Amino acid sequence: MTLSLQDCSTGFPAELKSFRQFILSLDDEQWTRPSRCGGWTVADVAAHVVGTMADVAAGRMDGLGTPEVTEREVAERRGRSRAEVAEELEGVTKVAEDLLAAFDDDAWQAPAPGGYDGTLGQGVEALFYDTWLHADDMRAPLGLESQRGGEGLRAAVHHVGFEAGKRGYGPATLALDGVEQVAVGDGSGPRITGDPFEFVLVATGRKDGEPGAFGGVPNIYAD
pLDDT in tens, 115-157: 889 999 999 999 999 999 999 999 999 999 999 989 999 999 9
Closest CA to 176 of 186, 155, 191, 156: 191
In this prediction the pTM is 0.96
pLDDT of residue 115: 82
Q: Is residue 112, in this structure, part of any structural domain at all? A: yes
Domain count, the chain: 2
pLDDT in tens, 161-204: 999 999 999 999 999 999 999 999 999 999 999 999 999 999 99
- Cis omega (within 30 of 0) on the bond before 171? yes
Are 84 and 48 part of one and the same domain?
Answer: yes
Contact in structure between 49 and 165 (CB atoms under 8 Å): no
Angle between helices 120-142 and 5-25 (to 10 degrees): 30
Q: Which domain holds residue 9?
A: 5-147
Q: Which of 115, 147, 179 is the last residue of a domain?
A: 147
Q: Is residue 222, in this structure, part of any structural domain at all? A: no
Q: Which of 107, 131, 147 is the last residue of a domain?
A: 147
Q: Is residue 221, in this structure, part of any structural domain at all? A: no
Long-range contacts of 212-221 (CB under 8 A, 24+ apart): 215/169, 215/170, 215/172, 215/190, 216/169, 217/160, 217/164, 217/169, 217/192, 218/164, 218/167, 218/168, 218/169, 220/160, 220/163, 220/164, 220/167
Are 181 and 80 part of one and the same domain?
Answer: no
User: Could you tell me how many residues make up the chain?
Assistant: 223
Are 19 and 127 part of one and the same domain?
Answer: yes
Q: What is the CATH number of the domain that holds 53?
A: 1.20.120.450
pLDDT in tens, 65-92: 999 999 999 999 999 999 999 999 999 9
Are 111 and 130 part of one and the same domain?
Answer: yes
Q: Is residue 94, in this structure, part of any structural domain at all? A: yes
For residue 119, report the phi and psi dihedrals to the nearest 5 degrees: -80, 170
Are 61 and 20 part of one and the same domain?
Answer: yes
Are 35 and 124 part of one and the same domain?
Answer: yes
Q: What is the CATH number of the domain that holds 186?
A: 3.30.1050
CA pair distance 189, 41, nearest whole angstrom: 41
pLDDT in tens, 29-54: 999 999 999 999 999 999 999 999 99
Q: Is residue 45, in this structure, part of any structural domain at all? A: yes
Is 182 in a helix, a strand, or coil? strand
Are 135 and 165 part of one and the same domain?
Answer: no
Does the pLDDT at position 223 exceed 80?
A: no
Q: Which of 126, 147, 168 is the last residue of a domain?
A: 147
DSSP characters over 2-29: ---HHHHHHHHHHHHHHHHHHHHH--HH
Does the pLDDT at position 7 exceed 80?
A: yes
DSSP state of 172: E
Q: Which amino acid is at 158?
A: H
Non-local (6+) Cβ contacts of 29 within 8 A are none
Contact in structure between 34 and 41 (CB atoms under 8 Å): yes
Are 28 and 104 part of one and the same domain?
Answer: yes
CA pair distance 149, 1, nearest whole angstrom: 19
For residue 174, report the phi and psi dihedrals to the nearest 5 degrees: -80, 110
Q: Which amino acid is at 5?
A: L
Are 15 and 116 part of one and the same domain?
Answer: yes
Are 12 and 26 part of one and the same domain?
Answer: yes
